[in-house]
Amino acid sequence: MVETIEFDLIICGSGLAGLRAAIEAARKNSKIKIGIVSKVQVMRSHSVSAEGGTAAVLFEDEGDTIESHIYDTVKGSDFLADQDVAKVLCEEMPTQVRQLEHWGMPWSRRNDGRIDQRNFGGYSFPRATYASDKVGFFEMQTLYDTCQKFENIEYLNEWFATSIVHDGKQFMGITAIEMSSGNFYQIKGKALIIATGGAGRLYSFSTYALSSTPDGLDMAYRAGMALKDMEFVQFHPTGILPSGILITEGARGEGGYLLNNKGERFMKKYAASKMELAPRDIVSRAIITEINEGNGFKHETGVDCMKLDLRHIGDEKIKEKLGGIREISIKFSGIDPAKEILDIRPVCHYMMGGIHTNIDGATELQGVWAAGEAACNSVHGANRLGANSTSECIVWGKITGSLAVDYIEKHTNSNQWPHHLVSLEEKRIYDGIFRGNGDANPYEIKQELTDILTEKAYVFRNEKDLVEGLKRVRQLKEQTWKHVDDKAKEYNTNFSNVMELDSMFRVAEIVLVGAINRKESRGSHARTDYPKRDDANFLHHTLAYYDPNEPIMKTHPVTITKYQPVERKY
């Protein structure tokens, strides 16, 4: 008999979006039972790694405006953002920054005591509200502390959610494995918020935590919800070598230079007005173009790279404003950025795509919302501006938490619990994976899969590479990797790793199919064989629906309210 737990609201994921949703729901109704289900401990959520800032217009008295933030976001998205959604983000954020401050967020300050903001790529004004270079860690700490005020929030730490249970029309619950015992549970609920973060571990050179695999996306996909715009993967210009750990955009916001092997600040050729603070897609393409033209450096590992120079910023300012990356540089590259220049290259950093939602974060299944990087409400379009992601987590955490409570208060579910679906899921993961057999090593397969994406669907793409990548992914998928050699029940990381790999295959396929179909260059998706943006044929979102053979691809219109697409120049 499968053990059962019941909540009113289930939140999958314990990062910024998940915790903000829990607080909003608990504030609104202290009687409902809220369960936060996370495959890691709360403060291990990848949100703690956010470094540079959270975007908001705080000082309209200094010339900045909400409208300017909206336009910068839309232009940065290469006009694929839904403009009504961008408006919600930019209008809501100033209040949220002050709300976080009220809850104890230690924002960095100006000399006059006001909250400080730094320059970030693609913005017309300094808008990245920061806390040294550890903004995600401090935001998480603030939200986690705030959650402690509410007795109706319960944590299921280190639980691996495996499927969404529904009756074809509405949400009923999830299935999950308690990793500490290895026991399989059905968790009944009236509403679900998916806040499981991004899928960046599909790439081997990545800024993401190892836990950032697409289990949440895949769970929604298998339950019939579409994944949207998955071909748009953001490569952050400055991943440190050899680890790929992020060097925040704040390093350039504080005045850092990008240099080629001639000692030139080469960004003047690509975005003369913004230089190092052009949007991320433009800077990443510039770096790879310079490397391809022979203007790069060779890292000791043999990888081509560029240099990031912070020496002129000075030791004192680096320690005060970029202390975290100074520590990372010394620890992982053996370099003190106040004395030497850093080796960097573009690294997988963010997924613009995710679970298809509307402006409110509602998915296509009644009773299910998605928030944060796991969701695609189309606020970022084809390219996200830095510092807008933590903002998105906070805004849609709040919105979805509130709407889920409204739904729970009105909702009655008289339908029979679908035991057969739970049995099918149990069979899929235990007979299909845990007790599977084969001689292919799942860890080697995972490495090969992530290497294929890094190689074939990187900053620049073309038909030949993408088609070959898809073919190789499908061949790999057919191998006998679905087996778990460690038969322990408790904390079986071998089992969870193979389950993650199972999800990775389905989502990797969508990234590649979407990229093959989009025969244009827009935002982060740069095709050397189709170098121009093609609004006549591709000014639309991509939707992928589940089919056991291959994803069913559809399109979805872009909401344009005010700004007609124009050529993007900086």
Task: Quote the CA–CA distance of 93 and 251 in Å, as a whole number.
Answer: 23
For the chain, what's the residue count?
A: 570
Give the SS3 label for residue 47.
helix
Answer for the pair 229, 85: CB distance below 8 angstroms, yes or no: no
Closest listed residue to residue 444, CA positions, set 501, 499, 509, 511: 501
* Helices and strands: H and E segment counts in the chain: 15, 24
Catalytic residue among 20, 69, 118, 252: 252
CA geometry: angle 560, 562, 567, nearest 5 deg: 80
Residue matched to tokens 């501006």: 385
Give the SS3 label for residue 26.
helix
Residue 265 among the catalytic residues: no
Task: Quote the CA–CA distance of 55 and 129 in Å, as a whole number.
Answer: 6
DSSP class of 384: P
First to last CA, the chain: 61
Catalytic residue among 236, 280, 285, 380: 236
Residue 285 among the catalytic residues: no
E strand residue ranges, 179-317? 183-188, 191-194, 227-228, 233-240, 257-259, 297-298, 304-309
The dihedral through the CA atoms of 101, 106, 109, 113 has a sign that is positive
Known catalytic residues are 236, 252
